[in-house]
Amino acid sequence: MNRAAKTQTVLLLTGLICAFAALVIVDGLLVSLILALVINSLFSPIVDALERNGMSRHSATAVPFAFGFLAVIIAFTLVLPLAIEQMKALSANAPILKQRWTEALTAIEVSIAGSLGLSDPLDLFARFNSWLLLQTGQISEGLPQVVSQSLTVLLLSPFFAYFLLADGNRLSRAILKLVPNPYFETTLNLKHQLNIQLGGFIRARLIESGIVGVIIWIGLSAIGFPYTVILSVAAAVANLIPYVGPVIGAIPALAIALFSSEATAVHGVSSTFGLVGLVYLIAQVVDTVFVIPLLVARIVNLHPVTVVVSILVGAEAYGVIGMVIAIPVASAVKLILQAIVPLTNSSRPH
């Protein structure tokens, strides 16, 4: 590498380290950027399509943002009050649910201890309860920070996303200009592959989760189950986590079906439980048979063991958020390694 290339590499690395430090230090900046990238992935095909039809890049970028803001306003005026109402109702029923849940778990615990011939109780529920309290305590303690961060994120992420969509290429070209000649093509190729794979993956998973959420909302509404909005949103968010997500998403609804008298008033406990299970099963069948093969499977080609290990590592590091971002991060690492390995081979002396 010649002197100019070395200077360029030092400049680029310094810039990257500074940018990374800023992302870590400034509150909400990293989350804003991630959310902006998600919005960018979601909107870029629409913006490209509008541009293909003769609109300027800036006008084409403004259109999905206008519709996005409209959707947010509609969500805030129509869906949010409904969700808050359902949340209040669920909170009001929470003590009764908790009591029944405790009774049921204690009964199971006693029967297990009895069948195993244990003299001391397993104390499973107490342990679970203290874990749950710890988690909820952590959430409520961090709530003010989360709210202030959310406001920053809500303001910054659309701004970043608009800039990325309208002028992102200029920015990436300016960064690429600093890449030394020997690594230029590899870096450009890697950026392109990451754009395709991660952009496609993010779009596919969001659409997939949206479809699952809508199926569950329709299904639960059809059987007259309460809390449809919050349960379908929870299922859609949980569905972003591969393999275990659908199970996590179904647990609250199944628990309500078992222990809430309000939910089981029409069909009875066993029928309600069966119907709720059927709704979640239909959503998963539609997802597995139609949505995943069409949207997701062809985009990210990771070995199932890699997927599971990534989710476990993600969960250990960042909890639920870590589980959601585990697969895109694992895919990015795979792509980067695929790009670096041939580079190290070709850099051997000839």
Partner 1 sequence: MKPLWENVFRKRKGDSLASVLKQNVLFQDLSDSEIRFLERCVHLRNYAPLEPVFRQGEVGIGLYLILSGRVEISVRESAATDGSEGREIFVTQLLAGDFFGELALVEASELRTASAVAREATAVIGFFKPDLQEILDRRPTMGTRILFRLAEVLGRRLKETTEKVTELRAALREITEPPEQERGKRP
Site of interaction with partner 1 (CB under 8 A): 2, 4, 48, 51-52, 169-170, 173, 176-177, 181-182, 184-186, 188-189, 191-192, 195, 339, 342-343, 346, 350
Given a contact cutoff of 8 angstroms between Cβ atoms, the answer to whether 274 and 254 are in contact is no
Three-class SS state of 153: helix
11 vs 82, beta carbon nearer partner 1: 11
Minimum CB separation from partner 1 for residue 202, in Å? 17
User: Exposed/middle/buried for 118, CB within 10 Å: 0-12, 13-18, 19+?
Assistant: exposed
Give the tokens for residue 194.
């990451």
Q: Least distance to partner 1 from the beta carbon of 23, Å?
A: 25
Count the neighbouring beta carbons within 10 Å of the beta carbon of residue 17.
10
CB of 180 to partner 1, least distance (A): 10
Of the pair 3, 25, the CB lying nearest partner 1 is at: 3
User: Exposed, middle or buried: residue 309 (CB in 10 Å: 0-12, 13-18, 19+)?
Assistant: middle
Q: Looking at beta carbons only, is 177 or 303 nearer to partner 1?
A: 177
Pick the closer one to partner 1 by CB: 24 or 170.
170
CB nearer to partner 1: pick between 87 and 176 = 176
Q: Smallest distance from the beta carbon of 192 to partner 1, in angstroms? A: 4
For helices 245-259 and 228-238, give the axis angle rounded to 10 degrees: 150
Asked whether 332 and 194 are in contact (CB, 8 A), the reply is yes
Toward partner 1, which CB reaches closer, 2 or 271? 2
Q: How far is the CB of 66 from partner 1 (least distance, A)?
A: 20
Give yes or no for a contact between 245 and 239, defined as CB atoms under 8 angstroms apart.
Answer: yes
Q: Which residues contact 47 (CB under 8 A, 6 or more apart)?
A: 57, 60, 61, 63, 64, 165
> For partner 1, which is the closer residue by CB, 87 or 196?
196
**Residue 283's closest CA among 213, 203, 205?**
213
Q: Smallest gap, in angstroms, from Cβ of residue 333 to partner 1?
A: 18
SS3 category, 9: helix
| Shortest distance in whole angstroms from residue 342 CB to partner 1 | 6
